[in-house]
Structure 1
Amino acid sequence: MKKVLLSMLLIGAATYANAQKSEVSKAKNAWTLAKFANNQTLEATLKSLGEGLKATDNAIANEKSKDMVEAWSYRALFASRISFVDSLNVPNAEANGKIAEEAITKAKALDAKGSEKENISEAEQTLSNALKNRAIFAYNKKDFKSALQFFNEVTAKNPKDTSTYVNAGVTAKQIGDYPELVKNFKKAIDLGSKDAESLYSEAISVSFANIKDTVGGSALLESAIAKYPENPYFTGMQTDLYIKQGNIAKSQESLNKLIAKDGKNASYQYAMGDTYYKQALDLQGKRNKIDPKKKKEFDDVTAKMKGLIDQALPYYKKAYELDPKMISALENLKVIYAFKDDKVNYEATKKLLDAQNAADKK
């Protein structure tokens, strides 16, 4: 009787183990159906995916099948897909996202032969897309704080996702988190974003204006100029920075090299004119504070202003000659001629400027 009973127990155990393995087969079949099911309602889709996930619950709960790599890879597939499909239900999406992450980790540990590599990769991509969906939905609802959190989760899992770094930076700007904007834009630039030039502009601007980080902003500016030497915004900003630092020589040294390399670049000519003109404007501010009774001091400052303006003049003229659409050069020339009381050139410049403004309005 004992021998018969023992045989019966062994048969029962084998049958139970096979039953658990059949749960993996059931999950595989359910996944095949889910992948090719079209035009289902959200409720029907979630029900189908939930049943597949339940099959993997049963498989990993049994001692005999808990270490089957398929049990975990398909669990990752089902949970990640639920997280993606049900993105608007954030608690459910996050809960299934955690299930998927755990399953992916376990599947990778068990998949010594790489037999489930494709399924694991698909689950990872689906999970990433689920997070992106959540971020976009949150952004559209103007829940920018949550959107930024989700975008950052995506880049933490996929540190080479260039577009998501850009999205994170744009979202950070919405809540005034400028250090976060700079961090994400810099990462996108480093990864070779096609929008690197505009990302540099934004990051440099907020570094100086909002974060007040002169060191970081200057480093970004140097990098931007090295990559985009013909960008007038960058060269102009560097000129402004050098002038504010009182380092006119450094600014002019840099611009002279650029002009020597490309003398027909209107932006370089204009920027060089600025190195003189902005010094003159600075002196004008100081002159306005001089006591009118101090005529000699007033006249000395005026003479220096005139000297600087005379040096700026040919560069602005050259800039306009090279680029007749450079309105800023005309505007500065008009002011200079007014200061010099040069009525002929003032009227001629005003006429050109008025004609250009009228053409722009058409």
Structure 2
Amino acid sequence: MKKLILSVGVMSLSIFAYAQKSEVAEAKKSWDLFQAMNQAQDLQKNLAGLNKGLTHTDAAIAHEKTKNAVEPWSYRASMASAIALLDTTSEANSIAKQKIAEEAILKTEELDKKGEHKDAMANAKINIANAIQARGIRAYNKKDYATAFKIFTEITEKNPTDTSMYLNAGVAAKQAQNYAGAVKNFKKVVELNGPDAKNLLLEAINIELVNLKDTTAGLATIEQALKKFPDDPDFVGTQTDIYIVRGEIEKSQESLGKLIAKDPNKAIYHFLLGETYYKQALSVQNERQKLDPKKVKEYNALTAKMTALIDKSLPFYKKAYDLDPKATHTLEALKQIYAFKNDTKSYEEAKKLLDALQKQ
């Protein structure tokens, strides 16, 4: 949270009729007293003092002779924003004082032709931003994620470049099961070049695939991710899995073929190409398991199809191993294939290598 700034510059008072001048002077006195105490006393006394000062500004801005004077509006903005930030006991009062402060800031900026109250208004805006953020954090800690999302979204609307608040909004939205809201905010962080872009894109893709069950949206996000992280194996691998699930094997193999042509020494691409065949084989195996055992001809046909797919995967896994002998996922795949083929010697070799890697 940004540092709390509650100070204001020296504000000169115009000459008004005594009664009106008194209201402004009393408002200034309340504000100066609050600053002098530096919030050392308890919350209720601070709030009482600020509310007293705010009452004096009520009278000043209501009077014909002082309603367009900049000083009472400036004090009003400072005190109301301070109350909005400090009052953690009443959300309703904090929000009400925030609205008063926002109105007063606009009026002060309209009247302050010389910019003498610029710093005070900047401080009041910081108080408001911190007040809203504090309410969002309190809501989140209370597990009121929907409210937290609403509050963090309010901050992003006031400051559309604040990546941390988009991230907060995304996390709160996910917790509230507002998955579309989570994806939107995570992508906004990436769009604004915020930190941890890759993981946020992976999270957005996972939400689209798992929670929203929207493979089309997931593929679109992967395409977006690959523009920022060209040929990244995590995104390529997820893309491959989606194509396989959707039965669009040729698209996956075409994409991986282009990547291998571009970088033939990248083991992960060969591994993923092997996966396009092996996962098809697993799908055929599942189909075979559901078959009536009496249907021998159909069973044998599915077995032959499964074996052919496994045989096609094997050269790619071997190539991946040659390029990266320490990749456990490749050895695991090879071990499974050799087990299926009853190739005991190769199975034992793969198992031995895998066990050795896992002990490192």
TM-score range, shorter chain: 0.7 to 0.9
Which digits, 9 at most, give the CA deviation of each residue in 1:160-189, with x for residues without a partner?
Answer: 221111111111222222122112212222
Pairing 1:55-204 to 2, within 5 Å after superposition = 55-204=56-205
Q: Which residue of 1 aligns with 2:20?
A: 20
Is the alpha carbon distance of 1:121 and 1:344 closer, same or farther for their aligned partners in structure 2, counting shifts above 3 Å?
A: same
C-alpha distance in 1, partners of 2:21/2:329? 76
Q: State TM-score, norm by structure 1.
A: 0.86
State the distance in 2 between where 1:248 and 1:114 align.
65
Which structure 2 residues correspond to residues 300-319 of structure 1 after superposition, within 5 A? 300-319=301-320
Q: Which residue is 2:248 aligned to?
A: 247
> Is the Cα–Cα contact under 8 Å of residues 215 and 242 in structure 2 kept in the other structure?
no
Contact 1:56/1:72, CA 8 A, preserved across alignment = yes
**What is the CA distance between 1:25 and its match in structure 2?**
4.8
Give how far 1:133 is off.
0.5
Change (3 A) 1:56 1:241: same
Q: Which residue number corresponds to residue 280 of structure 2?
A: 279
Amino acid in the other structure paired with 1:219? A
How far is the alpha carbon of 1:305 from its aligned partner? Answer: 2.3
Q: What residue in structure 1 maps to residue 217 of structure 2?
A: 216
TM-score scaled to structure 2, two decimals? 0.86
Amino acid at match of 1:157: K
Deviation at 1:105, TM superposition (A): 2.8
CA pair 200-36 structure 1, distance change in 2 beyond 3 A? farther
Deviation at 1:84, TM superposition (A): 0.8
**Which aligned pairs between 1:29-40 and structure 2 lie closer than 5 A?**
30-35=30-35, 37-38=37-38, 39-40=40-41
Deviates further, 206-215 or 290-299: 290-299
Higher relative contact order (CA 8 A, sep 6+): 2
Task: Describe the superposition over 1:323-361 as per-residue Cα deviations: whole angstroms up to 9, x where unpaired.
Answer: 4443222221111011111111101111222333344xx
Residues 122-153 of structure 1, C-alpha deviations (whole Å, 9 max, x = no match):
22221011010011112112222322222122
Separation (CA, whole Å) in 2 of partners of 1:197 and 1:36: 48
**Partner in structure 1 of residue 3 of structure 2:** none
Q: Secondary structure at the match of 1:270?
A: helix
Deviates more, 1:175-184 or 1:304-313: 304-313
Please tell me whether the aligned partners of residues 88 and 137 of structure 1 are also in contact (alpha carbons under 8 angstroms).
no
Mapped partners of 2:223, 2:130: distance in 1: 36
State the match for 1:9 in structure 2.
none
- Give deviations 1:24-50, integer Å, cap 9, x for gaps: 455445445534543332233223322
- For the residue of structure 2 that corresponds to 1:238, the secondary structure is helix
Residue 192 of structure 1 aligns to a residue whose secondary structure is coil
Partners of 1:69 and 1:174 lie apart in 2 by: 45
Q: Which residue of 2 aligns with 1:8?
A: none
Q: Is the 8 A contact 1:151 1:164 kept in 2?
A: yes
Q: Structure 1 CA distance, aligned partners of 2:111 and 2:82?
A: 21
Go from structure 1 to structure 2 and tell me whether the alpha carbon gap of 1:114 and 1:254 turns closer, same or farther (over 3 Å shift).
farther
Q: 1:121 to 1:341 in 2, by over 3 A?
A: same
CA offsets 1:187-220 (integer angstroms, 9 cap, x no match):
2222221122111111111112112233322221
Alpha-carbon distance in structure 1 between the residues aligned to 2:32 and 2:324 = 63
Name the SS for the 2:17 alignment partner: helix
Using the alignment, how far apart are the partners of 1:116 and 1:212 within structure 2?
53
* Structure 1 stretch displaced more, 51-60 or 190-199: 51-60
Moved more, 42-51 or 71-80: 42-51
- CA contact under 8 A between 2:267 and 2:321: conserved in structure 1? yes
Shift of residue 19 of structure 1? 4.1
Residue pair 1:88, 1:134 contacting (<8 A) in 2 also:
no
Alignment partners' CA distance in 2, 1:92 and 1:324: 65
Go from structure 1 to structure 2 and tell me whether the alpha carbon gap of 1:165 and 1:135 turns closer, same or farther (over 3 Å shift).
same
Q: What's 2:10 paired with?
A: none
Q: What letter is aligned with 1:70?
A: E
C-alpha displacement of 1:22? 5.0
Q: Is the 8 A contact 1:144 1:171 kept in 2?
A: yes
Query: Where does the alignment leave 5 or more consecutive residues of structure 1 unmatched?
Result: 1-13
**2:346 equivalent to 1:345:** yes
Runs of at least 4 residues of structure 1 off by over 4 A? Answer: 291-296
Of 309-318 and 74-83, more deviation after overlay is shown by 309-318
Consecutive unaligned residues in structure 2, runs of 5 or more: 1-13
Distance 1:160 1:82 in 2: 26
RMSD over aligned Cα atoms:
2.5
1:209-263, Cα deviation, whole Å (9 max, x unpaired): 1122333222212111221235433211111111222222211221222223333
The one-letter code sitting in structure 1 at the alignment partner of 2:56 is A
Cα distance change on mapping 1:69 and 1:241 into 2, 3 Å? same
